[in-house]
Structure 1
């Protein structure tokens, strides 16, 4: 009965506010919460996909419970040079996700530390969406060269910035080497509540030692797979279905949330839709990921 009352009261976000308990992500009833979905590609190149139609398509076609808005920063037409496009694209996806009753990750899509700009960005977004349990903040996409000590200091500053506005916001913290050295964060975690650490895996490139490191880190920190692909880290090449299934089995058994990269129509393997740009035109990768996660949703 309690669960029914909770669901009815929170129909705009059936899972409710996320938190961490014993290094596991849980919902408002302290039950394990696992999200599966599809992330959008860089907004500055693929803003045509930043629409309510696409959000609802992710929910219906993939049974997705989460999407991710990748707000590019330094690139042409990115946040730093064209903020109007960035915020308009982001708000369209966040508002549509709230209306659809799914989670949405606000991703500061960069490879370098930009502390001042990130604080300004997340201050604006957290102020707009304060109290919205649908919204998750990913404060740094993929550190290319920053050490864990640098990432940790940056993350503490950003966590404090967001929490000063929304004290219960759920926050994703990056890890070194494009979000692959999860064990470094596990060895020296941040002293903060309700955060998880991101892991990005492209199975055709990354060695299985990364899987061993993730397994060893689970007892120390919560992990969130905010990007996974069955192709190489370049975003192209053949799909390694066997290794992909191995990673998905690990995520499912460990109740680690994960999202595919990404909704774009470029002629490369990581595109979820084909070059026609039609949502009905799923690529090999799009079909593989759809068939994979709909087994569990």
Structure 2
């Protein structure tokens, strides 16, 4: 029954989205950038969401509706208050059509003076644009509460509003805490109770879409979380790494968590240093990619932005939000685009 219900949701997504966001009662389509939300009813049968449907977790593995392991590959947008120009339908369309992503991450800023903590509706609108664009393209979308410190009241308000609007869609994934800090932060004492609160609030509205939780030390203490895991269904754990900084030791800890039964998803990684800058480390990046692909662990790269740092996919000063030429891409951007396109081509064979 669950599989049939979720499959129907994709077919009926246009009407449901219109009602969820308080849209046109006369049946007219809402607009996001270039195409109407009614396009959701015409998503090609070959898209990731059409192929896999609603995701769930079985035996420590993220699977599709037919029980097959699913590996999502994609890009994260940058902090939403500092890279707002890319929170558009055009950007998502281009990432799907040219970069061949199967997932995109909306990093909704929850730190600083110009974030969702002060601008709730503005940031809800950004998340909504990305969610609707992802749904119209038939890809998955992670709504990431992008914070390093706890803001439970604000996080609960934001993510339950997302659940009310979009929890009926099969492509939605929640990430309630991007990267808890390391010093003075304990999984069982601090972070687990936070997640229990947010998960309960989401589940009261959306009973089954994936929730991917963070752990201390910038979402790297997955081995510690595995000793005292959260209860509930369809709860996975994010793992963040930066290849030039984090290598065999972190991968061993991640493997320990995986062997203990945690379902992992790499919702953020870089092929450079943990600062987001520095040289590209291809040897370490390839080791991480090999491990992730071997174990069907999804990955999303940081990030779509034009900042002057080596993790940015776009060169500083890039004005276009889509249609980027090779000259618009940084070395990291060219590597990620090629990797995503090659993975998509391999899956099609």
Q: What's the TM-score once normalised by structure 2's chain length?
A: 0.81
Where in structure 2 are the equivalents of 1:71-150 lying within 5 Å? 71-145=108-182, 146-149=185-188, 150=190
The 8 Å contact of residues 67 and 103 in structure 1, kept in 2 or not, is answered as: yes
Please give the root-mean-square deviation of Cα atoms over the aligned residues, in Å: 1.7
Q: Counterpart of 1:29?
A: 66
SS at match of 1:199: strand
Q: Post-superposition, which runs of at least 4 consecutive aligned residues in structure 1 deviate over 6 A?
A: none
Q: Cα offset for 1:58?
A: 1.2
Q: Cα offset for 1:156?
A: 1.1
Q: Counterpart of 1:288?
A: 335
The 8 Å contact of residues 247 and 284 in structure 2, kept in 1 or not, is answered as: no
1:274 is aligned to 2:311: no
* Count of matched residue positions in the alignment of Structure 1 and Structure 2: 293
Distance in 2 of aligned mates of 1:135 and 1:275: 31
Deviations 1:63-85 (A, max 9, x none): 10000000101223210122232
Distance in 1 of aligned mates of 2:154 and 2:162: 12
Q: What's the TM-score once normalised by structure 1's chain length?
A: 0.95
Structure 2 stretches lacking a partner, 5+ long: 1-6, 12-42, 345-349
The 8 Å contact of residues 74 and 81 in structure 1, kept in 2 or not, is answered as: no
Q: Counterpart of 2:217?
A: 177
Distance in 2 of aligned mates of 1:210 and 1:249: 15
Deviations 1:185-208 (A, max 9, x none): 112111111111000000111242
Q: Cα offset for 1:293?
A: 2.5
Distance in 2 of aligned mates of 1:289 and 1:126: 31
Distance in 2 of aligned mates of 1:261 and 1:245: 16
SS at match of 2:81: helix
Distance in 2 of aligned mates of 1:41 and 1:247: 22
Deviations 1:79-98 (A, max 9, x none): 01222321121111111111
Q: Counterpart of 1:245?
A: 286
Choose 135-144 or 206-215, whichever is displaced more: 206-215
Where in structure 2 are the equivalents of 1:179-198 lying within 5 Å? 179-198=219-238
Where in structure 2 are the equivalents of 1:148-163 lying within 5 Å? 148-149=187-188, 150-163=190-203
